[in-house]
Chain A
Amino acid sequence: DTAVSQTPKYLVTQMGNDKSIKCEQNLGHDTMYWYKQDSKKFLKIMFSYNNKELIINETVPNRFSPKSPDKAHLNLHINSLELGDSAVYFCASSPTGGGQPQHFGDGTRLSIL
């Protein structure tokens, strides 16, 4: 039974398009995250939601908009895709509180043509 699931696993699209990535967790966690892993393999946090409330918003272009309809779901919508958006995007979840281990999905590989 998958704990954190992301869809799609692969996303290939043209520059300028708008796309969404969905994430769902069945662990009962209150906090969910989006990370970006760039070509240099760095994992960097983008956003975090706690009980549907945005608590972390790193310096991310406003073309990226997270949406949390409920605490089990955190979706990522990206407008006007650019070449530099090509990366692997990971969703994660954890119980509330610092130092709690985060559980990651398997990632969505986004390729911009």
Chain B
Amino acid sequence: DQQVKQNSPSLSVQEGRISILNCDYTNSMFDYFLWYKKYPAEGPTFLISISSIKDKNEDGRFTVFLNKSAKHLSLHIVPSQPGDSAVYFCAASRGSSNTGKLIFGQGTTLQVKP
């Protein structure tokens, strides 16, 4: 049972435009959501997170939006840069469990064209 889903395996955008990556989840007990970026032959790198008590969190060019009623979150990158080309993973956790266990989506490959 895949509790975190990223239904778009890939996304291609032009440099300078907005990139929107989507993620859906099924478990209403999740209360922390995180986005990671991964380059080939490297480990995932933490980008930005959001708690379920918020609906938006912004950090520079990266903004994450959370819609709890729809069990949906999205990552917006504005403006997109060629260096943003990577695989983006959405992850969710239950903060109350205190184990730190993360459930990952299958990733979306973003290509930003110069």
Contacts and interface: CB of A to CB of B under 8 A. Distances in A.
B27 to A, nearest CB: 13
Given A33-B100, A98-B97, A99-B95, A42 B106 contact: yes
Contacts of B31: 98-99
A104 to B, nearest CB: 3
Contacts, number: 69
Contacts of B67: none
B100 A94 contact: yes
Interface stretch (B18-26, B41-49, B75-83): B41-49
Interface in B63-103: 87, 89, 93-103
Given A98-B99, A99-B95, A42 B46 contact: no
B31 to A, nearest CB: 7
Counting chain A residues whose Cβ lies within 8 A of the other chain, the interface size class is 20 to 34
Nearest to A30: B100
A100 B97 CA distance: 12
B32 interface: yes
Contact of A98 (B44, B45, B94): B94
B95 A104 contact: no
A105 B100 contact: no
Given A45-B103, A98-B100, A101-B46, 11 more contacts: A4-B43, A41-B106, A45-B102, A90-B43, A98-B96, A98-B97, A99-B51, A102-B46, A105-B43, A106-B41, A106-B42
Interface of B: 31-32, 34, 36, 41-46, 49, 51, 87, 89, 93-104, 106-107
In the A-B complex, the 3 residue pairs with the smallest Cβ-Cβ separation, listed nearest first, are: A99-B32, A98-B95, A104-B43
